[in-house]
């Protein structure tokens, strides 16, 4: 009996020792992202707060809890958040080792970033070092958690670009549109006049409004603009007084992004969608246009708007 207890104790001791014996595991994480975007987020360590899950959460909750520090050699960076410290050793511009220290535990891993086999594909080679017991109980490993956070950030438009951007089909195949050239200072007044003229055109031709009001803004020389105000309709009618019905290609593709905020601040979504178009090598056969999702058009730069910005693409 005593001998059996001794054997069990020995087995428990050996298991305990072996369980905490460090092992190394290699894995590869594939990411759909451009080389330039990937490098920007990896090489500039201060950008790690955008995607490193624990750092991101702490920074989002309270930026004052986040601290970033470089050492004099420019080879070691340290990020501190409440209860944890991340010591980042820069081996090369694309290779790093990370020590996560806190809560009476330390996690260590390393990773290297490589271009993938296809365009706009990247891969990260991860070397994770952790106790064997983590594998036995399938405990989430620090390196995998961090780099899966990076993958999610790079592959989710709302995370990376700051807006919900996606491909869709044209919803309004026929649009009654009014094109005018105006001075920029007259924009809001002229939009109202154009809409009144369009509604009169719809009534005269017995057309039914089938979707949201759309407006396209094209800068011209000086302080001039060309604006196209459109209303989706159920059928084509003859042109009159500068208004005509435009037929859009059936099932044509558009890149769409949603924006809510001040009219004057909507340039942000234009900038990010332009970047998306470049990153994904998409061509634009026609001008972009804004669909006002609540049909409330702006009356001033400070007007709160809710739009879907559409770029026809191929």
**120-160 pLDDT tens trace:** 999 999 998 765 555 545 555 789 999 999 999 999 999 99
- Given a cut of 90, whether residue 249 has pLDDT beyond it is no
Give pLDDT, residue 2: 59
255-295 per-position pLDDT tens digit: 999 999 999 999 999 999 999 999 999 999 889 999 999 99
Measured CA distances, 225 to 61, 68, 222 (Å)? 42, 45, 9
Task: Please tell me the number of Cα atoms within 13 Å of 311 on its side-chain side.
Answer: 22
- Given a cut of 70, whether residue 10 has pLDDT beyond it is no
Give pLDDT, residue 235: 96
243, 284 contact by CB (below 8 A) = no
Q: Return the SS3 of 178.
A: strand
Task: Please tell me the number of Cα atoms within 13 Å of 117 on its side-chain side.
Answer: 1
Residue ranges covered by each domain of the chain = 22-154, 166-312
Dihedral, 190, 192, 197, 201 alpha carbons, nearest 10: 130
213-240 per-position pLDDT tens digit: 999 999 999 899 999 999 999 999 999 9
Give the integer Cα–Cα distance in Å for 120 and 280: 8
Give pLDDT, residue 19: 44
Q: Which residues pair with 177 in a beta bridge?
A: 230, 244
Mean pLDDT computed over 87-111: 92
In whole numbers, what is the pLDDT of the chain averaged over residues?
Answer: 90
Those residues whose C-beta lies under 8 Å from the C-beta of residue 254, and which sit 6 or more positions away, are: 167, 168, 169, 170, 310, 311, 312, 313
End-to-end CA distance of the chain: 79
Give the integer Cα–Cα distance in Å for 265 and 159: 19
Give pLDDT, residue 26: 87
Q: Structure tokens of 51?
A: 């995607």
Q: Structure tokens of 274?
A: 């332009």
Tell me whether the CATH fold assigned to 22-154 matches the one assigned to 166-312.
Answer: no
More confident residue, 11 or 201: 201
198, 243 contact by CB (below 8 A) = yes
Class of domain 22-154: alpha beta
Question: What is the percentage of the chain residues whose pLDDT exceeds 90?
Answer: 78
Class of domain 166-312: alpha beta
Give pLDDT, residue 14: 45
Q: Structure tokens of 198?
A: 């369009």
Those residues whose C-beta lies under 8 Å from the C-beta of residue 100, and which sit 6 or more positions away, are: 84, 85, 86, 106, 107, 108, 142
- Given a cut of 70, whether residue 27 has pLDDT beyond it is yes
Give the integer Cα–Cα distance in Å for 254 and 23: 49
């Amino acid at each position: 009996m005593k001998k059996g207890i001794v054997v069990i104790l020995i087995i428990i001791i050996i298991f305990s020792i072996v369980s905490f014996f460090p092992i190394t595991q290699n894995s590869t994480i594939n990411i759909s992202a451009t080389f330039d975007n990937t490098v920007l987020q990896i090489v500039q360590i201060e950008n790690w707060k955008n995607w490193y899950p624990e750092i991101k959460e702490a920074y989002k909750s309270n930026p004052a809890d986040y601290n970033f520090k470089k050492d004099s050699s420019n080879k070691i960076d340290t990020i501190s958040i409440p209860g944890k410290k991340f010591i980042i050793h820069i081996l090369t511009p694309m290779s790093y080792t990370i020590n996560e220290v806190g809560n009476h535990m330390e996690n260590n891993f390393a990773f290297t970033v490589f271009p993938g086999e296809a365009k706009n594909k990247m891969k990260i080679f991860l070397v994770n070092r952790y106790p064997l017991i983590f594998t036995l109980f399938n405990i989430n490993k620090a390196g995998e958690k961090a780099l899966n956070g990076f993958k999610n950030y790079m592959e989710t438009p709302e995370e990376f670009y700051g807006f919900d951007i996606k491909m869709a089909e044209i919803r309004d195949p026929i649009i009654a549109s009014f094109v005018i050239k105006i001075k920029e200072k007259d924009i809001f007044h002229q939009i109202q006049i154009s809409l009144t003229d369009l509604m009169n055109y719809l009534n005269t031709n017995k057309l039914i409004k089938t979707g949201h009001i759309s407006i396209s803004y094209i800068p011209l020389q000086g302080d001039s603009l060309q604006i196209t105000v459109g209303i989706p309709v159920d059928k084509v009618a003859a042109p009159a007084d500068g208004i005509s019905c435009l037929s859009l290609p059936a099932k044509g593709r558009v890149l769409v992004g949603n924006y809510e905020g001040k009219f004057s601040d909507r340039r942000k979504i234009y900038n990010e969608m332009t970047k998306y178009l470049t990153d994904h090598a998409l061509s634009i056969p026609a001008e972009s246009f804004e669909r006002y999702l609540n049909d409330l058009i702006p009356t001033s730069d400070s007007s709160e708007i809710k739009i879907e910005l559409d770029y026809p693409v191929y």
